[in-house]
Amino acid sequence: QQQVKQSPQSLIVQKGGISIINCAYENTAFDYFPWYQQFPGKGPALLIAIRPDVSEKKEGRFTISFNKSAKQFSLHIMDSQPGDSATYFCAATSNYGGATNKLIFGTGTLLAVQP
């Protein structure tokens, strides 16, 4: 129940296209869903995050869509650029049971944007 399932494992998109990465969870106590971007040799960088009281959040070219009833959320990267080529991780956490920063991560999606 603590798992976050992420798909696809890898994704190839043409420059200017839309990249879509999906995640699903089981634990209904999760109340914060961040996405992290990781480049080789670097630590994950917080990209965008959403709470379950909204269905969509947009920051620049990055949008999170959230479906509470389906327990799914997704990251959309509009106008994908070669510089977006990285590994993307979804995650989830909850303060239910006590304040914590413990993140449950998905397995990651390796995105390659071809020029």
Partner 1 sequence: KAGVTQTPRYLIKTRGQQVTLSCSPISGHRSVSWYQQTPGQGLQFLFEYFSETQRNKGNFPGRFSGRQFSNSRSEMNVSTLELGDSALYLCASSLIAGDYEQYFGPGTRLTVT
Interacting residues with partner 1 (CB under 8 A): 32, 34, 36, 41-46, 49, 89, 91, 93, 95, 98-108
Shortest spacing between CB 14 and partner 1, in angstroms: 27
CA angle 46, 41, 91 (to 5 degrees): 30
Residues near 92 by Cβ (< 8 Å), separated by ≥ 6? 4, 23, 25, 27, 30, 32, 33, 103, 104
Alpha helices (H) along 19-89: none
Shortest spacing between CB 27 and partner 1, in angstroms: 14
- Shorter beta-carbon distance to partner 1: residue 9 or 69: 9
Shortest spacing between CB 85 and partner 1, in angstroms: 18
- Shorter beta-carbon distance to partner 1: residue 99 or 115: 99
